[in-house]
Chain A
């Protein structure tokens, strides 16, 4: 954010350097081939220009060796690019363990953020420098896309499911936040800023806010929606006990199994009949329309904070 004619974006995350290096490499390859082709075309077109009106070109039909050459060399280059690009991508896709988890919800036309300790912001995101941050992103209405150019990171916010982004900001400062997927009238107004702070400043900022932590809000919602009547250790076994479920492998009634990630937890609340846990009846009603996307994220945060079920052998989830 600054000069009048920037030609290259600021790089402010650990991943940005990897992306830029790859980008420069592809730019170099492209420049080489563009200049090569342009030079050949122009020099041929000048050197072999027509001198007599009835002149014809030389009868050259082709060359297998040349065809192979210009098939195999580009193929090898693109394979290198694929591997390098995949490597950079996989690093960007997989958040490291122990990342600080922040929940983001997109709706027309704003970004709502919940920090674990209860701070909330709209169209801003405060994060400490030098820490792995994991964003879990949902959408309340249409598809949006959470895009931070300075971090070279982007992921769509898709209604009906949760998506994930992670980054590690390197430089304190303010950076653009854009919605990159067209989402209606004020799409270009769905922007904001990422504020990267020194860890100490961030602690100060956090303590300035307050309110209930996300999981505490989730606990309250858990009670308000009467989830606790079925899903806690002392609630009679009508539904699976939820402590320790997140991240575990859940056996389903149809014989298959599934890893209980955030999307599984989300689906189990919104469409409980989709995956029935082995040993339970399909009794749970849907909470579609009864709980907002933010509420869902709070519930998930709460479920994740529950201690593992003490003695139960049942490791089911959600219903």
Chain B
């Protein structure tokens, strides 16, 4: 907490220009259009990967600019990183079971 020098009257917070919000909005719209367009091109397994990559990019823009995380404290970054880490941990460990179920060649093992 010591890292913030407070003006006791104003709640602090970054005030960004409207142009930034409109820019992020445009990126989100373009991203949506690309997601739909790319879904109609056969890229094999890359279809899913691209769709997710675009979704992650869009989400990142929302988090950084609409949710002001770019200017937020390090603790906020840690909180977000922890949530992503735990989510992926659950996916990764959960899926490891499903992916390795046939390896032994013994049903149910």
**Direct chain A–B contact by Cβ atoms under 8 Å:** yes
A-side residues, CB < 8 A to B, are 93-95, 136-137, 155-156, 158, 161-164, 258-259, 261-263
> Are A261 and B105 touching (Cβ within 8 A)?
yes
In the bound assembly, the distance between CA atoms of A138 and B102 in angstroms comes to 17
B102 (CB) vs chain A CBs: closest residue? A259
In the bound assembly, the distance between CA atoms of A164 and B102 in angstroms comes to 13
Q: How far is the CB of B47 from chain A (nearest CB, A)?
A: 14
In the bound assembly, the distance between CA atoms of A140 and B103 in angstroms comes to 25
Contacts of B107 in A (CB 8 A): 136, 161-164, 261-263
In the bound assembly, the distance between CA atoms of A194 and B108 in angstroms comes to 22
Top 8 A-B residue pairs of the complex, sorted by shortest distance between their CB atoms: A163-B108, A162-B107, A262-B107, A263-B107, A93-B109, A164-B106, A164-B107, A164-B108
A92 (CB) vs chain B CBs: closest residue? B109
Contacts of A137 in B (CB 8 A): 108
Count B-side interface residues using an 8 Å CB cutoff. 7
B79 interfacial contact with A, CB 8 Å: no
Q: How far is the CB of A194 from chain B (nearest CB, A)?
A: 19
Contacts of A261 in B (CB 8 A): 102, 105-107
Contacts of A93 in B (CB 8 A): 104, 106, 109
Q: How far is the CB of A161 from chain B (nearest CB, A)?
A: 7
Contacts of B109 in A (CB 8 A): 93-94, 163-164
Contacts of A94 in B (CB 8 A): 104, 106, 109
In the bound assembly, the distance between CA atoms of A263 and B103 in angstroms comes to 13
- Report 8 cross-chain contacts, Cβ distance below 8 Å, ordered by A residue: A93-B106, A93-B109, A136-B107, A158-B108, A258-B102, A261-B102, A262-B107, A263-B107
Contacts of B108 in A (CB 8 A): 137, 155-156, 158, 161-164, 263
